[in-house]
Structure 1
Amino acid sequence: MEIFIITGMSGAGKSTALNYFEDRGYMTIDNMPCFFIDGFKLSVYRERIKNVAIGMDIRSFERTDEFLELLESLKGEGVSYKVLYLDAKDEVILNRYNLTRRSHPLKRSNSIVENIYLERKMLSEIRELADIVIDTSDFTPKKMIENLKSRLEYKKIRDLVLTITTFGFKYGAPIDLDMMFDTRSLQNPYYIDELRPKNGDDKVVQEYVMSGSGSEEYLKKIEEMLEFLLPHFIKEGKTHLTVGIGCSGGKHRSVTIANKLYEYFNKKENIKVLLNHREQERWSL
């Protein structure tokens, strides 16, 4: 039996995620209270039900301890599970509630802003223990499905999935990063007229960025740091690691360095590498 528990901030896309799992043959359960799930003793049904996706938000448990106790109960039954935590920036969640005109499920305050703040505080411990954290702030439902497919659908079992995300600091850093590297100290193609409309996928841009003072050494330092850290993460049981590479606009320098890192780590048999250029849709603007 494979169980995915989908949780996180209300308004971050839980329903879309459940639709993704349902379309792939999972039995989906939404907002069932923790004590109901615990009472089912899921291990009894492992021969009849192979794949289950359970959506849980703050309506499913009165306190965080209930959620943690459920996880311990599943472990005790020998049931394998993964926790998928969906997150988004506060202003994005607020805007989604304003658009749908729905009320926030946490009824601690008459203010949606206050409820979002309280919910984030309540769920902080669950976010820390999640196997996968996805920031949906910049996702349409279609893009979210594509992200889930790239992260979860792979045939060969790997020790770790390494996601390399590029972004522009002027648009804000992603909130789902495990670590971040800043490339704004590197030589900037933006100030070269013929290079400005191109991006870090173009060879001429890569050559320009890497020809600058310190670029090759900086890339080498990142490679060495990740080479050192990845085995330790794997040893501690971490299955997903998201590394952010940022520059001013997320078009030239960060994309160049990310592409180089992808080429380097994609050669490793025990690591699946995913590459995500967050600002790609802005490149043509």
Structure 2
Amino acid sequence: MTVDRTGPDRNRTGHSLEGGGSLRRLLVFVTGLSGAGKSTALSAFEDLGFDTADNLPPPLLDGLLDLTEHPDVPLAVGIDSRTPRFEPTAFLQMLDRLKQQDGLDVSVVFLDADDEILVRRFSETRRRHPLAASNRLAEGIAAERTMLRGLRDAAGCVIDTSMLTGGDTRRLIRDRFAGGAPAGLFVTCMSFGFSKGVPRDADLVFDVRFLRNPHYDPDLKPLTGRDGKVADFVRADPGFAPFVDRLGALLDLLLPRYEAEGKAYLTLAFGCTGGKHRSVMMAETIAAQLGRQAVQACLFHRDLPRVGV
């Protein structure tokens, strides 16, 4: 659910129209670990109206930008260890050059996942990992993670797909890029359950298990943090209001500094035991608060589908 998408005027293709009406073409590089969901992400960009290209040798990118039939349409390019003539250091140098180029708005999306999840996905699909030698899958994953570390560090948007479905990944891409690249900082308020693992793409993690737990109330147990009765129950905890006030003050301090540093995406993760009640309610509360302050934000409840909601 998108709380607010305020920002500069955008044309129909989602580009920022900056001073003087000059058009900056959105170029998104989609990269990450093999098996983490790059193809799903590229498909999501295509659904948003982007031109897409996968495994394009980096030296050919300039030619693609010149030859694209509709230069006003945003472009998403898939790059990873399988890409011909791909070399991480050279790619990062090219990325720096493109970011300085007039008329381009460049972003990097990095798809990540836990090693054990990647092993399971490759085992299920019986695909061969591009860097696996002598069928040693774990070694190939480790080698690729090392190879792509610089790209992950350079990415403005990191998505950990370990606990996500393909639909979840598509939803995150849609929420973050449906209006083009956000002007300023874009905040994702995520809820999760500690019992299912801490999201690795979270920038700031808040443990809200100190709040009263609706799970032990028979009338509230089948509900979620999106229900008013659960929200009222959690809000009645004496620690709720002071926590929200102090967190609001912390975000007032941090968000402008993150934005000044050039950070494009920030993920706030709120965790409770199962990811159904307290964390959901808190993520909803903070997202609404950010929306009232005209901060670009969206909600993502990672574990609600996993508890039958």
Letter in 2 for 1:75: K
User: How many angstroms apart in 2 are the aligned matches of 1:237 and 1:47?
Assistant: 31
Q: 1:55 to 1:273 in 2, by over 3 A?
A: same
Letter in 2 for 1:9: L
Q: Paired residue for 1:56?
A: 79
TM-score by length of 2: 0.84
Q: Paired residue for 2:5?
A: none
Q: SS of the residue aligned with 2:292?
A: coil
Greater relative contact order (CA < 8 Å, ≥ 6 in sequence): 2
Q: SS of the residue aligned with 1:266?
A: helix
Do structure 1's residue 16 and structure 2's residue 25 form an aligned pair?
Answer: no
Do structure 1's residue 68 and structure 2's residue 63 form an aligned pair?
Answer: no
User: How many angstroms apart in 1 are the aligned matches of 2:252 and 2:134?
Assistant: 47
Letter in 2 for 1:99: E
Letter in 1 for 2:189: I
User: How many angstroms apart in 2 are the aligned matches of 1:153 and 1:62?
Assistant: 29
Q: 1:263 to 1:48 in 2, by over 3 A?
A: closer
Q: Paired residue for 1:85?
A: 110
**Counterpart among 90, 95, 98 of residue 120 in structure 2:** 95
> Structure 1: any 5+ residue segments left out of the alignment?
none
User: How many angstroms apart in 1 are the aligned matches of 2:100 and 2:255?
Assistant: 29
Cα shift at 1:193: 2.1
Q: SS of the residue aligned with 2:90?
A: helix
User: How many angstroms apart in 2 are the aligned matches of 1:165 and 1:237?
Assistant: 22
The answer to whether the 8 Å contact 2:164/2:302 transfers is no
The answer to whether the 8 Å contact 1:109/1:115 transfers is no
Q: SS of the residue aligned with 1:241?
A: strand
**Counterpart among 30, 47, 50 of residue 26 in structure 1:** 50
Percentage of pairs with the same residue = 38
TM-score by length of 1: 0.90
Do structure 1's residue 241 and structure 2's residue 288 form an aligned pair?
Answer: no
Letter in 1 for 2:126: R
User: How many angstroms apart in 2 are the aligned matches of 1:45 and 1:203?
Assistant: 54
**Counterpart among 136, 154, 159 of residue 179 in structure 2:** 154
> Structure 2: any 5+ residue segments left out of the alignment?
1-24
Cα shift at 1:283: 3.3
Q: SS of the residue aligned with 1:162?
A: strand
Letter in 2 for 1:17: A
- Count of aligned positions: 282
Matches within 5 A, 1:1-285: 1-37=25-61, 40=63, 42=65, 44-45=66-67, 48-50=70-72, 51-60=74-83, 62-78=86-102, 79-108=104-133, 110-154=135-179, 158-269=183-294, 271-284=295-308
The answer to whether the 8 Å contact 1:135/1:174 transfers is yes
CA RMSD in angstroms, aligned pairs only: 2.2
Letter in 1 for 2:78: G
Cα shift at 1:263: 1.8
User: How many angstroms apart in 1 are the aligned matches of 2:181 and 2:97?
Assistant: 29
Q: 1:264 to 1:75 in 2, by over 3 A?
A: closer
Cα shift at 1:235: 0.9
Cα shift at 1:220: 1.5
User: How many angstroms apart in 2 are the aligned matches of 1:23 and 1:112?
Assistant: 32
Cα shift at 1:49: 2.4
